[in-house]
Amino acid sequence: MKRTSKLLTICGAALLLGNANPAQAWGGTGHKFVARLAIANLPASNFKQWLTKNETWFANASSHPDRWRNRVDHSEAPRHFLDTENFGVGTDALKVPIDFDAVLKLRSYDQLRTDGVNPWTIGRVRANLVKALRERRWEDALVQAAYLSHYVGDAHVPFHATANYDGQLLSPQQRGIHSRFEEKLVERTIKFEDLIVGKPDGISNPITDALRVLNDSIKAVPAILEADRAAALEAGSTNSDGYFEKLSIASRAVAKQRLEAAGRNLAGELYAAWEIAGKPAPEQSVAITDDWLPYAPPFVPRGTPAPPAQPVVSQDVQDKTRLAVVTKTLMSTMLKKQVSYNVVLPVAYGTDNRKYPVIYLLHGAWGGYNDWNAKSGVAAYAASTDFIVVMPDSNGNSWYNDSPGSGAVESFITDELRKDVEKNYRTITNRNGRAIVGLSMGGYGALHLATSHNQLYCAAASLSGAVGWGTSTFDKNLIVMAKDLYPTDTDANYFKDALLPSVLQHLKNGLYNGPSLYFDCGKEDFLIKSNQELEAALLTKQIPHEYSEFDGAHTWTYWDAHIRDAFQFMKRQLAKPQN
Ligand SMILES: [Zn+2]
């Protein structure tokens, strides 16, 4: 019955995403089965107990990645599938390289948008889960576990492993088999109680394992297509009871087998993540709600236009909160001058005695400390959060580094300013109480400062970040700025400030111990390429991170919308206010 609207959605999404794959995968029903079965498959432990306690939320949230595709995150769709044949390996998914760098030698980043990146997504989300578990951030752990459930579930759908994802390559009449198999057949013929509880798979490398799973998935495709042809011929249509009866004789067992395999595989991934994290005892009282989701709520059903990130705060409220922003002045010995910074306090700060985490929010090039407050609704958004937001000045186009041209800006922000804030406000004065966010030059600054001072900050987020700073392929117009900072020996110093080395230094024995990383970029932004290069480098090194590409360019409209996504991310990273 949802067929018409779904087809419209699919076509619309395919156009928007530049992606022909209409996959939605398992539908809500199948994804819930996979999530619940995985919990049942886990051996008895306090980890299993914790997941069981949160089973309803976990099972529901496992479908959310399909909704993000609807909210026009352009990097989302390819995470759900792999068109195996596009990699020049026939239908042998085991021959697809594990290493993302090696994949990029076969297919460009743009081509991968239509080929799919499901295995590396599974690797990434599992790394996020391990990180959250190790750091005992239970809400984030549950969020990451639910998303892992989605992508692992998708890998088990036969039509998610092939370029012939809707039967369309052999015969146009077979179009629609994708959803007939994974949604309608499952909904009509399989109950959760039918699924057999098993044991978790042993997992060595999540990416290797995902490719093995996809290889099993693609093998199931020809028989389903054959059953579809036969059933359609006999029933005379593809939406009658007769058609589904006939289809199920040949294909129900396949669907059931793939769901059961997914339940065992997901259990294996979850258990391995918990083991790698050192089997931490979960805090049993995690009260998770949809507020914890990435991409600020509310969500909308598929097929309706994307809403703003959050209900827009009225101009009135924005103006009022903007006026309430406090400007502090400090005589900096490091910069040898008076400097100003803005502070927004959460509403609750005025009514309690708790200590609060702090987000340092950086502006872009040719900007100043008052940019965020003057040009966005950040004061209003921040007031409703649980963190203090501090907006410092970059002292010119310093790139937030210490340099001969602009002085000790990095040292000022990480030391002198931090101490001033912690002296003047009730803050949580450890790593879990600090994060940095920034836009453009400040996006680079946020990631660079947090990864260079890992002992100080637990997380960093970059919006439209100039993340290629310090690399030879970076935007030529921006490279000229390096000459102002380093009048002599420009190149050596400029390259020293590249972001990736400061991220990679935290990767030891395959585990990343640095700050949590979030970055996003507008699709029309002139900095999109360097953001994609950073994403590719992090996928290659299997470094935990979250990345999104939204509609928009290098504008305040974009930053006003997506600062709220960065705050959503920070909510899952920072400590809660404490007494
Ligand atoms: Zn999916």
Q: Do 269 and 397 belong to one domain?
A: no
Q: What would the pLDDT profile of 123-156 be if each residue is shown by its tens digit? A: 999 999 999 999 999 999 999 999 999 999 999 9
What is residue 520's three-state secondary structure? strand
Distance 22 CA to ligand 1 centre (A): 10
**CATH code, domain with 99:** 1.10.575.10
* Host H or E run for residue 557: helix 556-571
Q: What's the 566 CA to ligand 1 centre distance in angstroms?
A: 23
Specify whether 210 is located in the same domain as 348. Answer: no
Distance from Cα 350 to the centre of ligand 1, integer Å? 44
Antiparallel, parallel or unpaired: β 407-408 and 402-403 = antiparallel
Q: Sort strands 516-522 and 511-512 into parallel, antiparallel or unpaired.
A: unpaired
Least confident window among 194-198, 304-308, 399-403: 304-308
3-state secondary structure at position 474: coil
- The domain total for the chain is 2
- Give the β-pairing of 326-332 and 337-344: antiparallel
pLDDT value at residue 297: 46
Confidence at 561, pLDDT banded by 50, 70, 90: confident
Query: 80 and 166 in one domain?
Result: yes
- How many A from CA of 250 to the centre of ligand 1? 24
Residue 406: Cβ-neighbour burial (10 angstroms; 0-12, 13-18, 19+): buried
Q: pLDDT digits over 43-84, tens only?
A: 999 999 999 999 999 999 998 888 777 666 889 999 999 999
**Do 410 and 482 fall within a single domain?**
yes
Q: How far is the CA of 67 from the centre of ligand 1 (A)?
A: 9
Is 114 in contact with 20 (CB distance < 8 Å)? yes
16 Rama class: left (phi>0) / alpha (psi -120 to 50) / beta: alpha
309 lies in a domain? no
Which among 276, 299, 326 is the end of a domain?
Answer: 276
In a domain, 73, yes or no: yes
CA of 57 to the centre of ligand 1 (A): 18
Domain shared by 153 and 64, yes or no: yes
User: What amino acid occupies position 512?
Assistant: Y
Say yes or no to pLDDT of 4 above 50. no
- What distance in angstroms lies between residue 23's CA and the mean position of ligand 1's atoms? 7
Residue 368 CA neighbour count, 13 Å, CB half: 5
Q: How far is the CA of 193 from the centre of ligand 1 (A)?
A: 23
Residue 489 placed within a domain: yes
| Domain presence at residue 295 | no
Task: Establish if 109 belongs to a structural domain.
Answer: yes
Residue 80 CA, ligand 1 centroid: distance in Å: 5
Residue 156 sits in the same domain as residue 92:
yes
CA of 144 to the centre of ligand 1 (A): 15
Q: Which of 221, 245, 276 is the last residue of a domain?
A: 276
**Which of 61-75, 171-185, 224-238 is the least confident region?**
61-75
Other Cβ atoms closer than 10 A to 149: 29
Centre of ligand 1 to C-alpha 479, Å, is: 40
Q: How far apart are CA 369 and CA 391, in angstroms?
A: 6
**How far apart are the C-alpha atoms of 374 and 363, rounded to whole Å?**
11
How far is the centre of ligand 1, averaged over its atoms, from the C-alpha of 175 (Å)?
18
Is 60 exceeded by the pLDDT of residue 12? Answer: no
Q: How far is the CA of 229 from the centre of ligand 1 (A)?
A: 25
- Rounded distance between C-alpha atoms, residue 81 and residue 63, angstroms: 15
Determine the distance separating the centroid of ligand 1 and the alpha carbon of 150, expressed in angstroms.
Answer: 6
- What's the mean per-residue pLDDT of the chain? 90
Among the three residues 276, 300, 332, which one is the final residue of a domain in this structure? 276
Dist. CA 548 → ligand 1 center (Å) = 16
In this structure, are 30 and 174 located in the same domain?
A: yes
Residues 194 and 331 in one domain: no
Return the axis-axis angle of helices 241-276 and 138-155, rounded to nearest 10°.
Answer: 140
Looking at the fold, whether 257 and 390 belong to one and the same domain comes out as no
How far is residue 530 CA from its own chain's centroid?
Answer: 17
Looking at the structure, tell me whether residues 105 and 168 fall in a common domain: yes
Cis check: omega of the bond before 298, within 30 degrees of 0: yes
Q: What is the C-alpha to C-alpha distance for residues 118 and 125, in angstroms, rounded to an integer?
A: 10
Residues 122, 151 contacting (CB under 8 angstroms): yes
Instruction: Report yes or no on 577 lying in a domain.
Output: no
576 CA to middle of ligand 1, Å? 32
Domain assignment present for residue 297? The answer is: no
Sign of CA dihedral 541, 19, 547, 545: negative
308 falls within a domain: no
CA of 166 to the centre of ligand 1 (A): 15
CA of 64 to the centre of ligand 1 (A): 9
432 and 543 belong to one structural domain: yes
CA 236 to chain centre: 44
Give the DSSP per-residue string, 180-245. IIIIIIHHHH--GGGSPP--PPP-S-HHHHHHHHHHHHHHTHHHHHHHHHHHHHHHSSSSSHHHHH
Most confident stretch, 213-217, 239-243, 490-494? 213-217
- Between the CA of 113 and the centroid of ligand 1 the distance, in Å, is 14
Query: d(Cα 64, Cα 70) in Å, to the nearest integer?
Result: 10
Please give the Cα distance from 295 to 299 (Å, whole number). Answer: 9
The CATH number of whichever domain residue 457 belongs to comes to 3.40.50.1820
Helix 206-219 with 118-134: angle, nearest 10 deg: 140
Q: How many Cβ atoms are within 10 Å of 421's Cβ, its own excluded?
A: 21
Confidence of residue 231 (pLDDT cuts 50, 70, 90): very high
For residue 322, what pLDDT is reported? 82
Say how many Å lie between the CA of residue 186 and the centre of ligand 1.
15
User: Which residue in 360, 362, 568 sits closest to 464, CA to CA?
Assistant: 362
- Centre of ligand 1 to C-alpha 149, Å, is 10
Domain of 529 in residue numbering reads as 315-571
CA distance 537 to 560: 28
- The answer to whether residue 277 scores a pLDDT higher than 50 is yes
- Asked if 250 and 119 sit in the same domain, the reply is yes
Q: In what order do the strands lie in the sheet with 546-550?
A: 326-332, 337-344, 388-391, 358-362, 434-439, 459-463, 516-522, 546-550
Given a cut of 70, whether residue 317 has pLDDT beyond it is yes
β-strands 388-391, 402-403: how paired? unpaired
The pLDDT value recorded for residue 16 is 32
Q: How far is the CA of 363 from the centre of ligand 1 (A)?
A: 35
Average pLDDT over residues 377-394: 92
Spacing, Cα 185 to ligand 1 middle (Å):
17
Query: Among 253-262, 306-315, 401-410, whose mean pLDDT is lowest?
Result: 306-315
Distance 66 CA to ligand 1 centre (A): 5
Average pLDDT of the segment spanning 540-556: 94
Residue with tokens 């590396």: 120
Number of other residues whose CB lies within 10 A of the CB of residue 58: 23
